[in-house]
Amino acid sequence: MARLKVAVLISGRGSNLQALLDAAGRPEFPAEVVLVISNSASAYGLERARAAGVAGLVIDHRAFPDRAAFDQAMDAELRRCGAELVCLAGFMRLLGPAFATAWRGRMINIHPSLLPSFKGLHTHRQALEAGVKLHGCSVHFVTPDLDDGPIIVQGAVPVLDGDDEDRLAARVLTVEHRIYPLAVRLIAEGRVELSGRLARVHGGAGQTESLLNPDF
């Protein structure tokens, strides 16, 4: 069976990109990373792509007159490489509604909170200020609305006494690296069905459940 062709959009260090590259490096994984695009030439994630033998490309948003032109340039490269799924991994640019709509159902993001709680930036600070006892991360389909698409997988961690933003973020990041490849696998295996605002996962619930409840 042909492996699903994945493109990854990054802006920085690319730790979630590395998790996807590591997963794709295993022969049994049903997806491969075919292109990494960064809007910043200094993004360390481009080094990760090179080390893995994956093509990397810089499309600097500052070189375009507006967001629509930038989005069009990215869209052209994604189509040129034959991408079937686009993964946002620390991509720090808002995507225009036309781009999000064109890739609807074929573009996912990982967000460091248990959506729909704590959308946007500074999610760990938001969680600490709210006094929640569980925090975590979500992989969701991208829609034109920020952090609002159907949720595929979530991973939870406890909020511990004495946590600050950095300690909580580090605990959440460990889970991000586990659930992002899981979400890609589920999609590549055809086990994710979009139904309105819901993403339904079929089969293998035990595997999903074990990763949603890591032992910390």
State yes or no: pLDDT of 26 exceeds 50.
Answer: yes
Is residue 111 annotated as a catalytic residue, yes or no?
yes
- Partner residues linked to 195 by β-bridges: 198
State yes or no: pLDDT of 214 exceeds 80.
Answer: no
Where residue 142 sits, what CATH number does that domain have?
Answer: 3.40.50.170
What is the band of 203 on the pLDDT scale with cuts at 50, 70, 90?
Answer: confident
Q: What whole-number distance in Å separates Cα of residue 58 and Cα of residue 40?
A: 6
| Domain region containing 104 | 4-212
How do residues 79-94 score in pLDDT, each as one tens digit?
999 999 999 999 999 9
Helix (H) or strand (E) holding 127: helix 123-130
What is the band of 204 on the pLDDT scale with cuts at 50, 70, 90?
Answer: low
State yes or no: pLDDT of 12 exceeds 70.
Answer: yes
The pTM for the full model equals 0.94
Average per-residue pLDDT for the chain:
94
How do residues 112-168 score in pLDDT, each as one tens digit?
999 999 999 999 999 999 999 999 999 999 999 999 999 999 999 999 999 999 999
Q: What whole-number distance in Å separates Cα of residue 156 and Cα of residue 47?
A: 30
- The active-site residue out of 61, 111, 124, 140 is 111
As for how many domains the chain has, the answer is: 1
